[in-house]
Amino acid sequence: MSELLHLESVTVASGRPHEPGAPVNAPLNPSAVYRHSADGSNAYLRNESSDTVRAFEQTIGALEGGTAIAFASGMAAVAAVVESRVAGATIVAPHAAYSGTVSLMAEQRRLGRATVRTVDIVDTESVRATVAGADLLWLESMTNPLLGVPDLPALIEAAHAAGAFVCVDATFSTPMTLRALDLGADVVMHSATKFLSGHSDALLGVLVTRSTELSGELITRRRLAGAVPGTLECYLALRGVRTLAVRMDRAQANALELARRLEAHPRVTRVRYPGLPSDPGHDRAARTQTGFGAIVSFEVAGTADDADRVCERVGLITYATSLGGVETLIERRARYSVDASYGTPETLLRMSVGIEHVDDLWADLAQALQPVTRG
């Protein structure tokens, strides 16, 4: 049925019980232990899964057009892909990306488990030159936090021509704006903690693939690493997915309007948002995605201290790490050594735009920016 529905309907309809007399919602099943079956099989949550976890996986799989495997966190999902490569594998990864991924790649290199080549994934020719002989190309649909937009179709094609496996972190995009499997990616990763669950109350990751062999390998990797997600987390995330379409519509509309207003603000020196026609990634994003996401990064005039004070002065907006919830969050990313190490500007603020009224968000931003030294 899901193949005949629009994605907005899939978010609501998938993963629900359909038997006569069944509950409308997938029930919360918190048991970690199950009785032996008549055939002697031993069901155990760490080895198998639960109906609640499977309902979440069914829904995300339907949205992405593949088979979904849920993990205890986004980083557990990242690790399952990276550590499934044979010892000595060559990995091509973004030099500027999510700090957890950058740190994991660095650890693989430090321990001698992999050769890691870092590259600017926005520069297509550089990736083509670097991917020769690689086993894995790791991509982000939009780079975190600089919001660079890679040419995914060209990069995936180049990686496959070189014999490399491709994983796309599509956390910023969600399947509502990008389905990377349709572009040829071998696997898609989401930190489901973010937009998929949408309420900042569930720690979760998910991988999606169309390969039966690969999905089996990833399930084995999850079991051996003890990375099965909690049933409550999957229940909460599935409940969040039910409103993913409407949340993304509202958050993206807010993000575009705030980006436009920030671009005209005298105390803002640069706005990074692919939805702006002036953004370097606008044309690529418009070609490969059906939306521009709800993350806006912008640089304020003055110093790092000035940028920190903007975060401290907001009231409706929350000064916190993470992204993708119904509430708007803001943070200066270069305060973290990993982000600073690859050149994140000192005054860059990453803002995850929520679903509040856009005029209230703007009033909060405007008062927080008002004391900043003019550029």
Residue 76: count of CB within 10 angstroms of its CB: 21
211 and 194 within one domain: yes
* Domain-embedded: residue 350: yes
Return per-residue pLDDT of the chain as tens, 375 residues. Answer: 566 899 999 999 999 998 898 999 988 888 777 777 777 665 555 556 788 999 999 999 999 999 999 999 999 999 999 999 999 999 999 999 999 999 999 999 999 999 999 999 999 999 999 999 999 999 999 999 999 999 999 999 999 999 999 999 999 999 999 999 999 999 999 999 999 999 999 999 999 999 999 999 999 999 999 999 999 999 999 999 999 999 999 999 999 999 999 999 999 999 999 999 999 999 999 999 999 999 999 999 999 999 999 999 999 999 999 999 999 999 999 999 999 999 999 999 999 999 999 999 999 999 999 986 654
Domain hosting residue 193, numbered range: 2-241
Full-model pTM = 0.94
Nearest to 119 by CA among 99, 138, 144: 138
Residue 315 domain flag: yes
Q: For residues 330 and 235, state if they share a domain.
A: no
Say how far apart CA 83 and CA 201 lie, in whole Å.
27
Judgement on whether residues 236 and 253 belong to the same structural domain of the protein: no
CA–CA distances in Å: residue 344 to residues 16, 259, 288, 297, 340: 43, 19, 25, 11, 5
| Bond into 145 cis (ω within 30) | yes
CA 355 to mean position of chain CA atoms: 18
| CB neighbour list of residue 247: distance below 8 Å, 6 or more residues apart | 195, 198, 326, 355
Query: CA–CA separation, 163 vs 136, rounded Å?
Result: 9
Is the separation of the CB atoms in 314 and 339 below 8 Å? no
- Which of 241, 266, 295 is the last residue before a domain boundary? 241
- Give the closest residue to 49 by CA, choosing from 34, 36, 27: 34
Last residue of a domain, one of 187, 211, 241: 241
The Cα-based distances of 171 to 135, 143, 193, 323, 369 in angstroms read 23, 10, 9, 10, 28
Confirm whether 57 is domain-assigned. yes
Identify the CATH number of the domain in which residue 202 sits.
3.40.640.10
Q: Are residues 179 and 32 in the same domain?
A: yes
Asked if 104 contacts 75 with a C-beta cutoff of 8 angstroms, the reply is yes
- 185 within a domain of the structure (yes/no): yes
User: Is residue 11 located within the same domain as residue 135?
Assistant: yes
Q: Is residue 91 in some structural domain?
A: yes
Identify which of 23, 7, 45, 138 has the alpha carbon closest to the alpha carbon of residue 54.
Answer: 45
Length of the chain in residues, anyone? 375
Alpha-carbon distance of 27 to 185, in angstroms, equals: 33
With CA atoms as reference, report the closest residue to 237 among 58, 24, 2. Answer: 58
Rounded CA gap, 52 and 202, in Å?
14
Give the span between the Cα atoms of 72 and 338, in whole angstroms.
Answer: 23
The total number of structural domains in the chain stands at 2
* Domain membership flag for residue 374: no
